[in-house]
A and B are shown apart, each in its own frame.
Chain A
Amino acid sequence: MKLITLISCLIIFPFGTAIAENYAVLQLLNSYQAETKKQPNAEKGQQLWNQTFTGKSPFTERSCRTCHTSNLKLPGQHIRTKKTIEPLAPSVNEKSLSEVKKIKKWLKRNCKWSIGRECTAGEKANLLTFLNQQ
């Protein structure tokens, strides 16, 4: 009996903390998946993160890296105002990706700025999965 309790604790405990830590991300991933019926793909998320798009002058070359840089564990910098942006990697910034409302707001704004349109549910799921692993 004791052994069974121990085993179930070992199985449930890490799972439980993962849910507690990434509740906002999980909630969003579930809703995106309900729309796409696909598993999110972190690799595709990374590709989109690094992809360059064309925008209006003076920022004709745009990507997520424009402000957030390639190293998500380091602070970024707003391209126009030069204001510091806290690191996006949840491993170094626990506030990052912790609020559904904020994640939605920034995905909407920044997809529109970088790509020139809103991201699809699939793209958002991929990006979020990639970011959440950092």
Chain B
Amino acid sequence: MNKSIIISATILISTALTVPVVFSDDDRREYRQRSLGVAPVTSEVYKNECSSCHMVYPPGLLPASSWQKIMTGLEDHFGDNAELDSENFKIISEFLDTNSADKSDYRRSRKIMRSVNKDNAPIKISELPYIKRKHDEIPDKMIKYNQKVNSLSNCSACHSSAEKGLFNEHDVRIPGYGYWDD
């Protein structure tokens, strides 16, 4: 009796030890996202309300303090009026706060946070030291004076998966110039 228990226990344990760890496609995708980018945007309200005039900026690109400053100045939002009704204002503020760079463990968010002071960061993504450093070798003609790009803030012009939170260097295609490799 005792022997059979020992045998079955041994079989169970050895099976458990030899079963290979299986990663699903979802696991792989999440690992890729975590190691290459920032968290993807999950709020439909945020996507709908904020994508009329510009690309959908993943909230993991700025700390909460910067998002708060942006949300309190929507009447003059980088020169445009982007006022929201109170219901959407609340939903979007909460979404930005909980998903901001300082509360994210995605690689790019952590790198962004290492480059700024949490409470005194710029409100423009294009002025974050990490973002500036990553783009400092690219000449103005490819961004600023490139009619299909116009500005460093137009991430998705070159990073085709920017709205999904992916900023892998190998996926960069600069309009009119093609691949970028440094």
Which residue numbers of A lie inside 8 Å of B, CB to CB? 56, 58-59, 78, 80-83, 85, 105, 108-110, 112-113
- Chain B residue numbers with a CB within 8 Å of A85 are 52
Q: How large is the interface on B (under 10, 10 to 19, 20 to 34, 35 or more residues)?
A: 10 to 19
Write the B76-88 contact mask toward A (1 if CB under 8 angstroms, else 0). 0011111101000
A59 adjacent to B79 (CB under 8 Å): yes
A82 adjacent to B85 (CB under 8 Å): no
- For window 126-161 of B, CB contacts with A under 8 Å fall at 150-151, 153-154
What are some 9 contacts across the A-B interface (CB < 8 A)?
Answer: A58-B79, A80-B78, A80-B79, A81-B53, A105-B85, A109-B81, A109-B82, A112-B75, A113-B80
Which residue numbers of B lie inside 8 Å of A, CB to CB? 52-55, 75, 78-83, 85, 150-151, 153-154
Cα(A85)–Cα(B52), bound, Å? 8
Name the contact of B81 in the complex, choosing from A58, A78, A113 (C-beta under 8 A). A113
- Chain A residue numbers with a CB within 8 Å of B52 are 83, 85
- Chain B residue numbers with a CB within 8 Å of A56 are 79
